[in-house]
Homo-oligomer: A and B are copies of this chain.
């Protein structure tokens, strides 16, 4: 099961999203039409089948608007939901829940969308030994949540930011005057727990890079044939990551070349939202 993020990381995002929606005057429709003290029970429902991620956001949004809300979660992040399935039931102040509804669903739908797309990729490579990984192409402000949703989908995380691993690209190699100097400078400048990956465009570069024992090598836009050759050259010596041109249609063939990791920005930047709704009892 995917380990949840601490509330301390989620709450500021949910709070900011609620405030963005409440604006300066709050929910003027609920204030006008719903008598104070009115109670309401409503169900969070998946309208489409998909992989669940983000129920903590629903909980926190509801609690922020009504600290006394009662919540029953009948599913957990990382599980699959069928179309029409209830994920949770909320009972509380009607104004508060109606005001929280859109924010809760915006976050849940987006995170389920990321998890669902990731799960499809993971399913596509089942049995090949390859892992599916996301990138830093995440929604600004939501990186921690989207990376978590990728994990709920069965995927793995790449770097969380510019600061937690070295990824040497063509500009860096050029600035250092070659793969060797770049690798040496990278190793020298970081502590013993920071990994170093290098991006290569050709098999020749791959060979050159291997000599410096990077923790991983990113094979950028390699053809299937070249991926196969790369695996032959490097399998077991380092982690081989394929990236570029990855789609649900192509991912299994890429995986079958034997690479260890396949990464795709689309998991986070272009996953369509999962259709989720709040249905009043």
Contact = CB atoms under 8 A, between A and B. Distances in A.
Interface of A: 1, 3-6, 8-9, 13-36, 38, 40, 64-65, 94-96, 98-99, 102-103, 105-107, 109-110, 113, 131, 133, 136-144, 147-148, 156-169, 171-173, 175-176, 182, 185-186, 188-195, 197, 215-216, 239, 241, 260-261, 265-266, 269-270, 272-273, 280
A158 B21 CA distance: 13
A240 to B, nearest CB: 9
B96 A189 contact: no
B137 A168 contact: no
A234 to B, nearest CB: 14
Contact of A140 (B6, B103, B133): B103
A140 B140 contact: no
A140 B16 contact: yes
Contact of A20 (B109, B110, B161): B161
A23 B160 contact: yes
A99 B212 CA distance: 25
A25 B193 contact: no
B32 A3 contact: yes
Given A22-B163, A270-B272, 13 more contacts: A9-B22, A23-B160, A24-B143, A24-B147, A25-B147, A26-B144, A26-B163, A29-B167, A29-B168, A32-B190, A94-B171, A140-B141, A158-B193
